[in-house]
Amino acid sequence: MVIHMRKVISTPNAPAAIGPYSQAILCGNMLYTSGQIPLDPATGTVVGEDIRAQAEQVMKNLSAVLTAGGSSFENAVKTTCFLADMGDFAAFNEVYATYFTTGPARSCVAVKTLPKGVLVEVEVVALAE
C-alpha cells in the first residue's frame, strides 16, 4: 500500500474557511479544493449581485487556492458546481468556460441554498506539480 503525504493548503488570497475545513488538501499530486463562494478574501463580504459577477469572484478565489497548491485551472480534472438557480446555468457556463479551457469532467447541480445566500459555489480536483 502506498501512503501519500497529506498537506493542508491555505492562502490569504482566498477567503478563510468559514467552518471546520481547509481551503484545500494536497495528497500526493492531487489537489482537492473546498468549495469556493464569491467572498472578498480581505473583507469576507459577498461580491456581486448577479451570477456573472459572483462566478468571476469564485474563479478568482479558486485561482488563489489552486496556485497555493501548486496547480492551475489547466490541471483541473473534475469540478463540482452548485447553483442556487438552474436558470443561471447558461450565464454561469459563459464565465466557467473562460477559466476551465481544458474541459475537465464536471457535475453541475441546483441546490436549495448556499452559504451566505450566494448564487454559486465551485470545488475542483486538480493535478499539482
Selecting from 2.30.110.10, 3.40.50.1240, 3.30.160.270, 3.30.1330.40, what CATH number does the domain 6-127 have? 3.30.1330.40
**Is 18 a residue whose pLDDT tops 80?**
no
Say how far apart CA 21 and CA 103 lie, in whole Å. Answer: 27
pLDDT tier at 5, thresholds 50, 70, 90:
confident
Set 108, 109, 119, 125: catalytic member: 108
Residues 12-33: what's their mean pLDDT? 94
Side chain identity, residue 65: V
Residue 52 and residue 129 in contact, taking contact as beta carbons nearer than 8 Å: no
Decide if 108 is catalytic: yes
- Sorted by sequence, the CB contacts under 8 Å of residue 47 that are 6+ apart come out as 38, 39, 40, 53, 54, 57
Per-domain residue ranges of the chain:
6-127
Q: The pTM is what? A: 0.95
